Amino acid sequence: MDFVGTALAELTMPQISPLAGEPIEKADAERLAGVLKALADPARLRLLSLIQSAPDGEACVCDLTAPLGLSQPTVSHHLRILTEAGLLEREKRGVWAYYRLVPSAIATIADLLTPPRKRATKKTR
C-alpha cells in the first residue's frame, strides 16, 4: 500500500478530479479507486454505519466484533484500512481504541462522484 497516511490528505484536499467534466487522468482514477475500494466491502460499510450510529459517534473494537460476526483481528484489519483511507480516525484512550468518522470524508467522496453542483470549497486547481 502506498496509501498509508496519504489517502486522507488527497481526499480532504482533493487534487482528484471528479468523474464529471473531461476524461479523468489515470493517476486520479487510481487514487479515487483506492478510496472507493476501501468502501466497497460489506464489513467495512457496516463498520462505518455502526460507528456513525453509536452513542457518541464513536466505538471501540470490542463493540464491533459481535455485531459483525467477525474475529477481532479481522475487524481490526478493516478499521485499519478505513483509517488509512481517511474515512476513520483513531483515538486510544487507556486500553481501548475509539474510532470515529472523519467529519466530511464520505461527503467528499460523494461530491467527487456527482457532476451537478460546483464544488466551491476548492479552487479547481
Nearer to a copy of itself, 78 or 98 (CB): 78
Whichever of 92 and 125 has its CB closer to DNA, that residue is 92
CB 64 within 8 A of CB 50: yes
Q: What number of H helices and E strands is found in the chain?
A: 6, 3
Of 80 and 119, the one with the shorter C-beta distance to DNA is 80
Residue list 78-97, contact with a copy of itself (CB under 8 A): none
The three cell numbers of residue 9 are 490528505
Site string for a copy of itself, 8-47 (x = CB under 8 A): -----------xxxxxx-x--xx-xx--xx-xxxxxxxx-
User: How deeply is 51 buried, as exposed, middle or buried, from its count of CB atoms within 10 A (0-12, 13-18, 19+)?
Assistant: buried
Sheet holding 96-101, edge to edge: 58-60, 96-101, 88-93
Please check whether residue 57 is in contact with residue 101, taking contact to mean a CB–CB distance below 8 angstroms: yes
Candidates 10-18, 20-28, 39-47, 103-111 — which segment interacts with DNA by CB under 7 A?
Answer: 39-47
Residues 57 to 96 in contact with DNA, rule: CB under 7 A: 60-62, 69-74, 76-81, 90, 92, 94-96
Given DNA, a copy of itself, none, residue 102, with its beta carbon under 5 to 8 Å by kind, binds none
Residue 97 to residue 91: CA distance in whole angstroms: 6
CB of 94 to a copy of itself, least distance (A): 25
